[in-house]
């Protein structure tokens, strides 16, 4: 690739045209052809200027958009939302390392005082309007006039949607200027007769081509009185359709150097001197010559430049001629290839950010531990179209990894898989804390050493799940075809695993907070909370909701006969059967002691009586080993529903409790609905059996 030289070959063609005009008549028409050519070149130069301006504007818009997207991603982080300096400070430093487009970043609390910062300190001129300006910057499209004062602001929200603080970041002006100068350098190679400037709202120079005139100090000087300026063009970034929201009000100014137009004006003067001696043949021959060797190559080149300015980088720039115009076309082709490569890289990065944001958004809405693992695995496998995948969780007591979510793996393998920390691929990855990518499982010596058993061909990726230095588990993804996962997938999954680990730890802590340690059922407080939610839903949609209360018959005898540890086994035994007989949407809870309760959404008592009877029968027929003795356990169950039996939470629980007492009074080991409870009872009557010590039950439940 040669750089443009003086237009000696084009001048040779023009000289030949002058010779033809000298010896041929009708030169007046030849002069008209030169005039038309001058207008065409002027129009083409302005078209190229507009194309260059659009390319530069698109790069500025991309930089601003990526900067805002990176800041948005961090603003939604749970650690940032905590407004805790100790948690935020390392995140800010890591953010600046990974986002060099920013020069500094700070977090302000709700009281508008600085909590943490990294990089250059960001003094706020008006802290009183911090939240207003942050909201306007995010939703109102606040512009950045001066590059040196470029600040982005984002609101920080708590989990309940309230404003917790604000995030302020400063754009790295030096990096922005270097990036723009690199682009201008490419454009200078493509078109040597053009000076290009990028100016902020105060007409201070952000970037310009080398040795560009009209710069005094750091400001752009006027050009209106300079006689050497024959063609100029300026464009505001705000004038570009579709980009005005995220684009600052900066200017791009193009000024053509004296060159081709001056030569054409000189040629016009010469033609005018001999206009009376020219003829029709010179005009026809000169017009044909100029169109074939000058106008058409330029027209094809301008057409290619216009195509690039419209964002179409897939069409190659044609070789229009073998002179300087041809070299200019080659330079355009090099620029097009480079821009296409840059566009592809930006698109890949944007897709990765969009993918991580989408996954983080989905998993942040799920706190159920099992549902969360299934959701994470499903999203991870869809990203790379994986054939098999699993999430293994580390059990703290045994320090072994077990499969908690899997797809494409046999059920028998799932049940038997137990991997000690440090063993096999998963144990090794979690112990070292480093992800492992195997592009071809049959050719990897490291994989064969860690793998126990037969090795299936393909490619696999194993990423550790670590949150706050706590080892949680491993995410495994594999495909049957080798070399279908690469380093880009590894980088993407590393970021995904970090977000997934935080969500898993939060879900694990939430599950521990609402789960009974012995029976692994929901605790009393969570039962009342969920019952209240289901009753509100039933009222809104005019549906039904049944409460089922269970009590183990003669539970005190188990404790007195076999001891309290064996009594705990009875509770676990009943809880396991109870949970296996109910739907996934039912809320199965332990109220306290030997009493259990179930909320059955969208079921009246007639429908809920079916699983209740199944529970009673399953517990009755199951034999439990207590210290070598096989025993039978029975339960009594009471049912009542909303809205037929009760309209409030307190009344619904009381009606279910009355049905349970009726089941016990009438022989135990049975299911009773509130419809079966006698409406008129003598308060002085008392079932002797019911007054026995084993039926001393907790007081009537009340709303917490």
Distance CA 93, CA 97 (A): 6
Model confidence at 681, pLDDT cuts 50, 70, 90, reads very low
pLDDT at position 646, please? 93
Continuous segment of H or E residues that includes residue 664:
helix 649-665
pLDDT at position 525, please? 92
pLDDT at position 565, please? 87
Residue 700 has pLDDT above 60, yes or no: no
Average pLDDT rounded to a whole number, residues 652-663: 95
Distance CA 651, CA 466 (A): 46
Model confidence at 572, pLDDT cuts 50, 70, 90, reads very high
Model confidence at 198, pLDDT cuts 50, 70, 90, reads confident
Summarised one tens digit per residue, pLDDT across range 205-256 is 878 877 777 776 677 776 655 555 556 667 777 676 655 556 677 778 877 7
pLDDT at position 656, please? 95
Q: In the block, which residue shows the tokens 């002179």?
A: 323
Average pLDDT, the chain: 77
Summarised one tens digit per residue, pLDDT across range 35-89 is 666 676 667 666 766 777 777 777 777 877 888 888 888 888 877 878 788 888 8
Out of 527-531, 533-537, 628-632, least confident range: 628-632
Question: What is the rounded end-to-end Cα distance, in angstroms, of the chain?
Answer: 80
Residue 467 has pLDDT above 70, yes or no: yes
Summarised one tens digit per residue, pLDDT across range 108-141 is 888 888 888 888 766 676 677 777 777 777 665 5
Summarised one tens digit per residue, pLDDT across range 364-394 is 666 677 778 888 888 888 888 888 889 888 8
Out of 93-107, 125-139, 342-356, 666-680, least confident range: 342-356
- Tally of CB atoms within 10 A around 396: 9
Overall CATH class of domain 366-513: alpha beta
pLDDT at position 535, please? 95
Summarised one tens digit per residue, pLDDT across range 433-445 is 889 888 887 776 6
Summarised one tens digit per residue, pLDDT across range 470-526 is 888 899 888 888 888 888 888 888 888 888 888 888 877 777 788 888 998 999 999
Model confidence at 695, pLDDT cuts 50, 70, 90, reads very low
pLDDT at position 540, please? 94
Distance CA 134, CA 107 (A): 12
Distance CA 660, CA 667 (A): 11
Topology, domain 524-695: Alpha-Beta Plaits (3.30.70)
The rounded percent of the chain whose pLDDT value lies above 90 is: 18
Distance CA 427, CA 433 (A): 10
pLDDT at position 669, please? 94
Residue 347 has pLDDT above 80, yes or no: no
Residue 559 has pLDDT above 70, yes or no: yes
Summarised one tens digit per residue, pLDDT across range 171-184 is 887 777 788 787 77
Summarised one tens digit per residue, pLDDT across range 321-333 is 676 777 777 887 8
Q: Are 695 and 593 in contact (CB under 8 A)?
A: no
The domain locations on the chain are 366-513, 524-695
Distance CA 115, CA 165 (A): 9
Beta strands in 209-296 (DSSP E): 215-216, 219-220, 231-236, 251-256
DSSP 572-591: HHHHHHHHHHS-TTSEEEEE
Model confidence at 154, pLDDT cuts 50, 70, 90, reads confident
């Amino acid at each position: 690739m040669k750089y443009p030289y003086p237009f000696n070959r084009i001048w040779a063609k023009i000289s030949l045209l002058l010779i033809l005009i000298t010896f041929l008549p009708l030169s007046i028409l030849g002069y008209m052809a030169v005039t038309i050519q001058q207008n065409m070149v002027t129009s083409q130069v302005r078209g190229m200027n507009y194309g260059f301006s659009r390319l530069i504007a698109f790069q500025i818009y991309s930089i601003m958009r990526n900067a805002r997207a990176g800041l948005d991603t961090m603003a939604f982080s749970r650690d940032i939302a905590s407004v805790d300096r100790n948690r935020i400070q390392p995140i800010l430093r890591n953010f600046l390392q990974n986002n060099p487009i920013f020069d500094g970043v700070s977090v302000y609390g709700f009281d508008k005082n600085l909590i943490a910062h990294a990089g250059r300190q960001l003094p706020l001129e008006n802290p009183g309007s911090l939240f207003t300006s942050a909201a306007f910057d995010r939703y109102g499209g606040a512009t950045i006039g001066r590059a040196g004062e470029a600040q982005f602001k984002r609101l920080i929200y708590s989990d309940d949607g309230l404003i917790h603080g604000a995030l302020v970041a400063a754009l790295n002006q030096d990096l922005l200027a270097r990036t723009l100068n690199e682009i201008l350098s490419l454009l200078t190679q493509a078109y040597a007769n053009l000076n290009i400037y990028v100016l902020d709202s105060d007409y201070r120079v952000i970037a310009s081509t080398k040795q560009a005139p009209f710069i005094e100090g750091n400001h752009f000087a006027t050009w209106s009185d300079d006689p050497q300026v024959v063609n100029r063009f300026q464009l505001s970034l705000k004038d570009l359709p579709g980009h005005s929201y995220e684009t600052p009000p900066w200017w791009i100014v193009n000024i053509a150097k004296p060159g081709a137009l001056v030569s054409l004006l000189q040629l016009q003067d010469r033609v005018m001197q001999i206009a009376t001696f020219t003829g029709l043949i010179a005009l026809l021959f000169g017009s044909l010559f100029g169109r074939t060797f000058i106008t058409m190559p330029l027209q094809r080149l301008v057409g290619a430049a216009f195509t690039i300015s419209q964002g179409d980088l897939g069409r190659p720039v044609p070789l229009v001629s073998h002179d300087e115009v041809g070299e200019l076309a080659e330079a355009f082709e090099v620029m097009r290839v480079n821009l296409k490569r840059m566009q592809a890289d930006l698109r890949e990065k944007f897709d990765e950010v969009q993918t991580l944001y989408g996954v983080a958004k989905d998993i942040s809405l799920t706190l159920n531990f099992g549902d969360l693992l299934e959701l994470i695995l499903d999203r991870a496998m869809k990203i790379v179209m994986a054939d098999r995948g699993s999430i293994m969780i580390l059990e703290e007591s045994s320090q072994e990894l077990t499969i908690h979510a899997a797809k494409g793996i046999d059920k028998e393998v799932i049940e038997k898989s137990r991997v000690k920390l440090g063993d096999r691929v998963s144990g090794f990855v979690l112990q070292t804390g480093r992800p492992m990518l195997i592009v071809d499982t049959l050719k990897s010596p490291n994989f064969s050493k860690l793998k126990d058993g037969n090795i299936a061909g393909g490619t696999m990726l194993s990423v550790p799940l670590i949150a706050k230095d706590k080892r949680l588990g491993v995410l495994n993804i594999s495909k049957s075809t080798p070399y279908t996962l690469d380093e880009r997938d590894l980088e993407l999954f590393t970021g995904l695993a970090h977000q997934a680990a935080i969500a898993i730890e939060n879900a694990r802590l939430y599950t521990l907070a609402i789960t009974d340690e012995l029976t692994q059922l929901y605790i009393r407080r969570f039962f009342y909370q969920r019952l209240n939610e289901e009753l509100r839903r039933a009222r809104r949609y005019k549906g039904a909701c049944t409460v089922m209360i269970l009590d183990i018959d003669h539970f005190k005898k188990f404790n007195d006969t076999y001891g309290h540890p064996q009594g705990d086994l009875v509770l676990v035994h009943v809880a396991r059967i109870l949970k296996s007989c109910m739907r996934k949407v039912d809320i199965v809870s332990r109220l306290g002691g030997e009493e259990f309760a179930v909320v059955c959404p969208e079921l009246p008592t007639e429908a809920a009586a079916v699983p209740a009877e199944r529970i009673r029968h399953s517990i009755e027929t199951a034999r439990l080993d207590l210290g070598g003795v096989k025993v039978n356990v029975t339960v009594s169950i009471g049912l009542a529903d909303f809205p037929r039996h009760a309209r409030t939470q307190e009344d619904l629980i009381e009606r279910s409790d009355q049905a349970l007492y009726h089941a016990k009074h009438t022989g135990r080991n049975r299911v009773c609905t509130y419809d079966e409870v006698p409406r008129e009872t003598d308060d002085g009557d008392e079932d002797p059996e019911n007054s026995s010590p084993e039926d001393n039950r907790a007081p009537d439940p009340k709303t917490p």
